[in-house]
Structure 1
Amino acid sequence: MRTMSARDRVVVALLLGIPLLLDLAFVWFPAIGTVLLSFTKWNGVGSLHTTTCKPNLPSILNNGCVYGIQNYHQAVTIYPEFWPAVRHNLIWLAVFVVIATPLGMLFAVVIDRGIKGSRMYQSILFLPVMLSLALVGIIWEFMYSQDYGLINSVIGRDHGGDSIDWLGNPHLNLWAVLVEATWRQAGYVMVLYLAGLKAVDPTLREAALMDGANAWQTFWRVVFPVMRPINIVIMVVTVIESLRAFDLVYITNKGINGLELLSVLVTSNIVGETQRVGFGSALGVVLLVISLVPISIFLFQTFRREESQ
């Protein structure tokens, strides 16, 4: 076995050390700092402080005092936007799981069959993914515009009091923004499933056809189970994308009036007018926990089934 030279060790150390340092600096340290700040009362300026600060109480950061779990207690009891934001995030997740993901899988299956013009369809469906979420929001603002929007013009509701305020009505705006998000997410899922379909061994399909299975049975009983790694990736991505949704709702109306989301509440408390960094950090920790729970359960169930086979 060949031993590494000093130069090889330096190269390996750099290749492993630099990504590790970047990961620690931009992921783990901010995450740990957010958890610590969630137990404090801090407005982002000066040292940490709290109205119930006790003498000689050890501080978490600087010279401030521990605020305990008061931020979490206030979030779930007296903060009026918290539970609507949780409900909206769960609705967002449900729409992604029930509509966007199956739609993206359908697009991938149809394109994978090699229909005429499949490359053009693939490019068109993938186009929203290439656009930033901010640009997607601006495009759909023109579509939903109450006075000159395409949708109101098509349905004949673009004049006077008959026009529909898609983005201003709190009973409609969440569903309107979800259409935007689904438009983009379906294309993203399509690309992931296309990669998985291309990796499936063609002999499996040939064997299924020789056994008399039709296209539907071949996909669900042969192809889909083989794509389990892709399914895991898509489920994790779907959960993360649905819970970190921010751009579209912030562009629409800054996440208020029916569009409250946890990610928007975190931003509005940390960098908004109130600048309650400790409280916003607590909301961020809640968002992290909510996102980890379904992912952890799904991965645990998936790997346990693999070990039992």
Structure 2
Amino acid sequence: MSTLTRTRGSSVPPGIPTSPRRRRRPRHLSTRDRVVAALLLAVPLVLSLAFVWFPALSTVLLSFTRWNGVGGLHTEPCDPALPPVLNNGCVNGVQNYHQAATNYPEFWPAVQHNLIWLAVFVVIATPLGMLFAVVIDRGISGSRMYQSILFLPVMLSLALIGIIWEFVYSQNYGVINTVIGRAGDSNAIDWLGDPDLNLWAVLLEATWRQAGYVMVLYLAGLKAVDPTLREAARVDGANPWQTFWQVVFPAMKPINIVVMVITVIESLRAFDLVYITNKGINGLELLSVLVTSNIVGETQRVGFGSALGVVLLLISLVPICLFLRQTFRREETQ
């Protein structure tokens, strides 16, 4: 005999027996679901290990060897009395790093140029991209057209960007020399051949592209900011400048971290533009170009090129780690 119950606020009319609620049993994954989940986890993991972590760890290990890419590796230390050909594949410890710092004249200019590249991206390209994003986000007339124009360099390959700017900097038919009346003249400015000018000329090309990239990232961040924050700041009497720097910009902290990391990576892996210009010589030495020229160039010094790659990795990790440390420290103190 069932018990008639009626709870307060219940929609069950009196006189109808109520049954106790059944507890939901935990759903068990079927064999097919487990296989699919395992594949979704395993495939990206295997690809990441094969194409990211294994090459990175192999580069670190190869940086302590003297290897030209041909033949096998062995664990015996190098014999200083033997020529490099007979010492191929041996372990030479930190000799590659010592040689890069002391007996490789292109190393320190390349480090200096990479740091200049990073400084220009941080001081000019990133604020310029942020400015573009803020102006377009305010809904000015023709914002879609401006956004497409500014993002166009990002969609182009770096090789094509170098070719486009060749028509701007060329001594014989370049736009700049034509405007100043020196095109084809003996007094024409060699923008890409002069060691005092070519780095800054190529940096202008890179900034043109990087600003559009940063603009898109900050546009996404501005769209994600809660509109009530701006309204509250406006009610409190804050002007647009104060609203952005004191309310909107701190709310975009995740985007700021992404932009910082991407800026460091893009500046330190710069390769295409300088290699197209003059193969990274005569004032355009960069660590990425030196790594390529030693590994796949005529010298075929894989161990030495790997050491340069490790140096480039360490340089890129320093500013990223410092920035992330400061960011997380501020979050803990708040």
- Tell me the TM-score normalized by structure 1: 0.95
Q: What 5-or-longer segments of structure 1 have no aligned partner?
A: 55-62
C-alpha displacement at 1:213, in angstroms? 0.8
Provide the rounded CA distance (Å) in 2 between the counterparts of 1:65 and 1:157. 55
Provide the rounded CA distance (Å) in 2 between the counterparts of 1:96 and 1:212. 34
- Find the residue that maps to 2:186 and give its secondary structure: helix
Q: Does 1:129 align with 2:154?
A: yes
Q: Which residue of structure 2 aligns with residue 219 of structure 1?
A: 244
Relative to structure 1, the CA distance from residue 153 to residue 51 in structure 2 (aligned partners, 3 Å threshold; closer, same or farther) is: farther
Provide the rounded CA distance (Å) in 2 between the counterparts of 1:139 and 1:49. 47
Identity of aligned residues (%): 84
C-alpha displacement at 1:80, in angstroms? 0.3
Q: Which residue of structure 1 aligns with residue 295 of structure 2?
A: 270
Q: Which residue of structure 1 aligns with residue 284 of structure 2?
A: 259
Aligned residues: 301
Letter in 1 for 2:123: V
C-alpha displacement at 1:302, in angstroms? 0.5
Provide the rounded CA distance (Å) in 2 between the counterparts of 1:161 and 1:50. 58
The within-5 A match list for 1:85-124 is 85-124=110-149
Q: Does 1:5 align with 2:27?
A: no
C-alpha displacement at 1:82, in angstroms? 0.2
CA displacement 1:143-181 (0-9 Å, x = unmatched): 110110011112222141221000000000000000000
C-alpha displacement at 1:4, in angstroms? 1.4
Q: Does 1:17 align with 2:42?
A: yes
Q: Which residue of structure 2 aligns with residue 45 of structure 1?
A: 70
Letter in 2 for 1:24: L
Letter in 2 for 1:155: I
Q: Which residue of structure 2 aligns with residue 168 of structure 1?
A: 193
- Find the residue that maps to 1:160 and give its secondary structure: coil
Structure number, greater radius of gyration: 2
Provide the rounded CA distance (Å) in 2 between the counterparts of 1:18 and 1:126. 33
Q: Which residue of structure 1 aligns with residue 217 of structure 2?
A: 192
Provide the rounded CA distance (Å) in 2 between the counterparts of 1:222 and 1:52. 59
Q: Which moved more, 1:240-249 or 1:150-159?
A: 150-159
Q: Is the 8 Å Cα contact of residues 96 and 242 (structure 1) preserved in structure 2? A: yes
Letter in 1 for 2:235: M
Higher relative contact order by CA 8 Å / sep ≥ 6: 1 or 2?
Answer: 1
Q: Is the 8 Å Cα contact of residues 68 and 89 (structure 2) preserved in structure 1? A: no
Q: Is the 8 Å Cα contact of residues 41 and 49 (structure 1) preserved in structure 2? A: no
Match of 1:71 among 82, 86, 96: 96
Letter in 1 for 2:53: W
Provide the rounded CA distance (Å) in 2 between the counterparts of 1:189 and 1:148. 32
C-alpha displacement at 1:47, in angstroms? 2.6
Q: Does 1:35 align with 2:64?
A: no
Provide the rounded CA distance (Å) in 2 between the counterparts of 1:260 and 1:52. 32
Higher share in helix: 1
- Tell me the TM-score normalized by structure 2: 0.88
Q: Is the 8 Å Cα contact of residues 287 and 312 (structure 2) preserved in structure 1? A: yes
Letter in 1 for 2:312: L
C-alpha displacement at 1:260, in angstroms? 0.1
Q: Which residue of structure 2 aligns with residue 144 of structure 1?
A: 169
Provide the rounded CA distance (Å) in 2 between the counterparts of 1:304 and 1:261. 33
C-alpha displacement at 1:49, in angstroms? 7.3
Q: Does 1:240 align with 2:302?
A: no
Q: What 5-or-longer segments of structure 2 have no aligned partner?
A: 1-25, 80-87
Q: Which residue of structure 2 aligns with residue 58 of structure 1?
A: none
CA displacement 1:29-55 (0-9 Å, x = unmatched): 00111011100001111134799636x
Provide the rounded CA distance (Å) in 2 between the counterparts of 1:296 and 1:51. 36
Provide the rounded CA distance (Å) in 2 between the counterparts of 1:224 and 1:49. 54
Provide the rounded CA distance (Å) in 2 between the counterparts of 1:161 and 1:34. 47
